Amino acid sequence: MNNGAMNLRQLLDLNARGNDVYVGEGREYSWGGLYGGHIVAQALRAAALTVDDDMVPHSIRAYFIRRGDHQQPVQYEVDRIRDGKSFTTRRVVAKQGGSAILNLESSFQRHENSADVTTVEFQQDLPRPETIEESSDITLLERRMIGPDALASQHRDGSGRVGAWMRLKESLGEDELLNRCALAYISDHLPTECVIEAIPGFQQAADEDRWFGASLDHTVWFHRPVRAHEWHFYEMTRHTFVGARGLTFGYVFDAAGAHVATVAQEVLLRVTPKAN
């Protein structure tokens, strides 16, 4: 277990154990357990270590199976599903103590020239991050939350829209792969808050520490280049809640308003009854 001083580059520096098996270190987080984005980012890095250098991930889909232990290393077993000329597919199972804690599938693509079109609108009148107080509880990144009054509801379907400017505290340079791993790391930071914001009564339960939350699955589609140490606007909205599962959907934009990624997550959220 790392003492908390590790940066993201070190977190993504996995140790090879042969036969497409890699091991990553844990890291302590303020709420206990392993942060879901930590496991997703390391799993994506493990998958990337088995593909050609000229391929970068364009999508990932991860299922969280059980809570990770920050005091133990994580073993990532990579399955080479397919190697193609344009696309390559990998499956990664993350394990601790011989049991799976995450299953991730990722697809990689070689660069391909094409038209560049998006219909997702960036809200241009957002407060800039320099004007907002810092609020991150993860030491590797900065987070500047946007107040609900500044988020125009007409920009998105769904409810409970939350948004934040976020960036990595360190630069990963021009390495597009590492920057996409960093985006995957950061993108798990808002979905639970989105569901709490959208469901009546949940915010009070959260304020009273009478709730349980967990990520169930997490999907990221990467569209355009990312430089994770620069400010990006991350936003999520809640689209449905049933069976204690909230489905969230959102976007990531760079500071100039370019749509760089799309994120979806299903969150488990339960309220604990008040004690008598």
Say if 30 falls within a structural domain. yes
Say if 123 falls within a structural domain. no
pLDDT digits (tens, 9 = 90+) for 5-46: 689 999 999 999 989 999 999 988 877 789 999 999 999 999
Structural domain count of the chain = 2
Residues 74 and 158 in one domain: no
pLDDT digits (tens, 9 = 90+) for 183-201: 999 999 888 888 887 777 7
Residues 45 and 134 in one domain: no
Residues 188 and 100 in one domain: no
pLDDT at 212: 85
Residues 103 and 150 in one domain: no
pLDDT at 101: 97
User: Which of 110, 138, 169 marks a domain boundary?
Assistant: 110
Q: Do the Cβ atoms of 80 and 55 come closer than 8 Å?
A: no
Say if 124 falls within a structural domain. no
Measured from the Cβ of residue 226, the count of other Cβ atoms closer than 10 Å reads: 25
Residues 57 and 185 in one domain: no
pLDDT at 3: 47
Say if 216 falls within a structural domain. yes
Say if 212 falls within a structural domain. yes
Say if 157 falls within a structural domain. yes
Residues 159 and 40 in one domain: no
Say if 115 falls within a structural domain. no
- Whole-angstrom Cα distance, residue 127 to residue 148? 12
pLDDT at 271: 86
Q: What is the pTM of this model?
A: 0.94
Q: Residue 80 has which token pair?
A: 């080479």
Residues 22-60: b if buried by 16+ CB within 10 A, e if exposed? bebbbbbbeeeebbbbbbbbbbbbbbbebbeeebbbebb
Say if 225 falls within a structural domain. yes
CATH code, 239? 3.10.129.10
Residues 33 and 145 in one domain: no
Write phi, then psi, for 213 (nearest 5 degrees).
-135, 150
Residues 106 and 136 in one domain: no
Residues 264 and 135 in one domain: yes
Domain that includes residue 38, residue range: 8-110
Residues 105 and 135 in one domain: no
Residues 96 and 226 in one domain: no
Q: What is the pLDDT along the chain (276 residues), one digit of tens a residue?
A: 554 568 999 999 999 998 999 999 998 887 778 999 999 999 999 999 999 999 999 999 999 999 999 999 999 999 999 999 999 999 999 999 999 999 999 999 999 999 999 999 999 999 999 999 999 989 999 999 998 889 876 668 877 789 999 999 999 999 999 999 999 999 998 888 888 877 777 777 777 888 888 899 999 999 999 999 999 999 999 999 999 999 999 999 999 999 999 999 999 988 888 766
Q: Residue 69 has which token pair?
A: 């232990």
pLDDT at 276: 61
User: Which of 82, 110, 138 marks a domain boundary?
Assistant: 110
Residues 255 and 134 in one domain: yes
